[in-house]
């Protein structure tokens, strides 16, 4: 017989989900910084510094042109997905094995 403390399990999952949201937001901020300060809009995966330990963030950045008051502008669509069990180094994982798998997304549209 296996005893499971559902209260502790639920609390751990809630904590993992909160960390996933923070990791997704940190990836969004890092991508925003790259666009604004280096002019770089690129896809990347980061399990490294600046991301919560144990989480990977996958960043996708797309540019497109638009007219604003008759003037051309470049818009940046940035989306992040963070998780604590990446698949092939990227998130999300379509088949996670962890019982406490947590993932979160964040996105923004940026007009510098």
* Average pLDDT along the chain, 112 residues, taken 10 residues at a time: 58 92 94 95 80 89 95 97 95 94 96 88
- pLDDT score of 66: 94
Q: What is the pTM of this model?
A: 0.85
Helical H runs in 3-112?
Answer: 6-38
Sorted by sequence, the CB contacts under 8 Å of residue 80 that are 6+ apart come out as 24, 25, 27, 28, 31, 57, 58, 59, 60, 105, 106, 107
Facing residues of 111 across strands? none
Instruction: Supply the Cα-derived Rg of the chain in whole angstroms.
Output: 17
pLDDT of residue 2: 41
Cα distance between residue 85 and residue 1, in whole Å? 28
How much is the pLDDT for 65?
95
């Amino acid at each position: 017989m296996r005893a499971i403390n559902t209260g502790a399990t639920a609390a751990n999952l809630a904590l993992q989900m909160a960390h996933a949201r923070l990791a997704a937001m940190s990836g969004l901020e890092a991508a925003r910084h790259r666009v604004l300060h280096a002019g770089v809009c690129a896809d990347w995966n980061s399990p490294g510094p600046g991301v919560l330990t144990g989480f990977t963030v996958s960043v996708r950045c797309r540019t497109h042109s638009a007219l604003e008051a008759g003037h051309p502008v470049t818009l940046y669509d940035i989306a992040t997905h963070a998780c604590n069990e990446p698949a092939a180094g990227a998130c999300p994982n379509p088949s996670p094995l962890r019982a406490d798998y947590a993932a979160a997304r964040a996105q923004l549209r940026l007009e510098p």
